[in-house]
Amino acid sequence: MPEKESHLTAAIDRSMRLHRPSIRRILLFPFEMLILAHVGIALLIACYTLLFAFVTPRINSLMIFRSLVQGQRLLPIKPVPLSQIPVVDRNMFILLEDGHFYKHHGIDLGAIREAYRLNQRAGYFVRGASTIDQQLARTLFLTMDKNYYRKYLEAFIAVEMDALLKKDRILELYLNSIEWGPGVFGIGQASMYEFGKPFGKLTTDQVRRLAAVLPSPLHYTVNTFMRDQGLYERYLFLVNRQ
């Protein structure tokens, strides 16, 4: 009888050793979950991005936030095909927002390093150095919170979108999604809101004003941005480029 109990005890011990998670397994578990989370996010973003290759969205995460959290009344997006936006007008936005747009793959590492050094010196978040791809990722999928976690997701999504979409399509989505005022999104609606006419009838100076006001569209309009030195310098930069 004691011999049987001894065999039974040994069998139980072996079973426990076999099913007991190893230290290595325990340590790897968080990393495995992190990888699975990234794969899940990547697949979700890929599905939406492939859809956006053909469809211009009429709603985005920033619009939802402005409406539900801040109570803004949203005006409908009026899409403007990139073919109807002259190259000279496109270049205004590229010059001001992302000078290396056609050269990088979603993120501009040089601009990120410069922004990081500036933020470290200031002791708080001053500059984000977001590319057009990153701004689009933030508008479509994320929030406006200024922190490094959001910046990481922004960069992650931007790189994926850049891999799946042509640059011209990214620019087209950007111009038709970006915020231009309280409840105003996209260059088509911005043209009507600010000037009372469709984008195709805007003058060169009116397009300059739309480009200049982009960093702070909730605090300034195309007629008041001169009160802010940084916005006014953006405008003068475009004037001097002509």
Shared-domain flag, residues 69 and 100 = yes
Q: What is the mean pLDDT of residues 85-99?
A: 93
Shared-domain flag, residues 39 and 57 = no
What is the tally of structural domains in the chain?
Answer: 2
Question: What's the predicted TM-score (pTM) here?
Answer: 0.82
CATH of the domain at 63: 1.10.3810.10
Residue 222 phi/psi, 5-degree rounding, is -70, -15
Task: Give the C-alpha separation, 225 to 236, whole Å.
Answer: 12
Q: Is the pLDDT confidence value at 224 over 90? A: yes
Percentage of the chain lying above the pLDDT 70 cut: 83
User: Each residue of 128-187: pLDDT tens digit?
Assistant: 578 999 999 999 998 777 777 788 889 899 999 999 999 999 999 999 999 999 999 999
Shared-domain flag, residues 24 and 106 = no
Task: Give the C-alpha separation, 12 to 19, whole Å.
Answer: 11
Q: Is the pLDDT confidence value at 114 over 80? A: no
